[in-house]
Amino acid sequence: MAATADQTLRAVASDETAVDGEGQAAFDRIIEQDSRIEPRDWMPDKYRKSLTRQISQHAHSEIIGMQPEGNWITRAPSLKRKAILMAKVQDEAGHGLYLYSAAETLGTTRDEMMQQLIDGKAKYSSIFNYPARTWADMGAIGWLVDGAAICNQVPLCRASYGPYGRAMVRICKEESFHQRQGFEILLELSNGTPAQKQMAQDAVDRTYAPALMMFGPPDGDSPNSVQSMKWNVKRFSNDELRQRFVDMIVPQAEVLGLTLPDPDLKWNEERGHYDFGELDWDEFKEVLAGRGPCNTQRLERRRAAHEDGAWVREAAKAYAARTAGRQSTELIGA
Ligand SMILES: [Fe+2]
Ligand SMILES: [Fe+2]
Q: Return the pLDDT at 20.
A: 72
**Ligand sitting nearest the alpha carbon of 171:** 1
**Ligand sitting nearest the alpha carbon of 96:** 1
List the helix and strand counts (H, then E) for the chain. Answer: 15, 2
- How far the first Cα of the chain sits from its last, in Å, is 40
Q: Return the pLDDT at 135.
A: 98
Q: Return the pLDDT at 137.
A: 98
State the distance from the centre of ligand 2 to the C-alpha of 16, rounded, in angstroms: 38
Report whether 114 contacts 309 (CB < 8 A): no
Q: Return the pLDDT at 1.
A: 45
Q: Which of 207, 189, 195, 172 is nearest to 81 (CA)?
A: 189
Report the distance separating Cα 170 and Cα 125, nearest Å: 20
State the distance from the centre of ligand 2 to the C-alpha of 146, rounded, in angstroms: 5
**Ligand sitting nearest the alpha carbon of 145:** 2
State the distance from the centre of ligand 2 to the C-alpha of 251, rounded, in angstroms: 21
Q: Which of 24, 61, 66, 21 is nearest to 41 (CA)?
A: 24
State the distance from the centre of ligand 2 to the C-alpha of 157, rounded, in angstroms: 15
Instruction: Return residues with CB closer than 5 A to ligand 1 (ion).
Output: 62, 92, 95
State the distance from the centre of ligand 2 to the C-alpha of 89, rounded, in angstroms: 8
Report whether 140 contacts 204 (CB < 8 A): yes
CB atoms within 10 A of CB 36: 19
State the distance from the centre of ligand 2 to the C-alpha of 298, rounded, in angstroms: 17
State the distance from the centre of ligand 1 to the C-alpha of 92, rounded, in angstroms: 4
What does pTM read for this prediction? 0.90
State the distance from the centre of ligand 1 to the C-alpha of 185, rounded, in angstroms: 18
State the distance from the centre of ligand 2 to the C-alpha of 311, rounded, in angstroms: 28
Q: What is the pLDDT along the chain (334 residues), one digit of tens a residue?
A: 455 656 655 665 565 555 678 889 999 999 999 999 999 999 999 999 999 999 999 999 999 999 999 999 999 999 999 999 999 999 999 999 999 999 999 999 999 999 999 999 999 999 999 999 999 999 999 999 999 999 999 999 999 999 999 999 999 999 999 999 999 999 999 999 999 999 999 999 999 999 999 999 999 998 888 899 999 999 999 999 999 999 999 999 999 999 999 999 999 999 999 999 999 999 999 998 889 999 999 999 999 999 999 999 999 999 999 998 777 666 665 5
**Ligand sitting nearest the alpha carbon of 63:** 1
The DSSP secondary structure of 155-205, one letter per residue, reads GGGG-SBHHHHHHHHHHHHHHHHHHHHHHHHHHHHHTS-HHHHHHHHHHHH
Question: Residues 165-178: pLDDT tens digits?
Answer: 999 999 999 999 99
State the distance from the centre of ligand 2 to the C-alpha of 315, rounded, in angstroms: 30
State the distance from the centre of ligand 2 to the C-alpha of 201, rounded, in angstroms: 21
Question: Residues 60-108: pLDDT tens digits?
Answer: 999 999 999 999 999 999 999 999 999 999 999 999 999 999 999 999 9
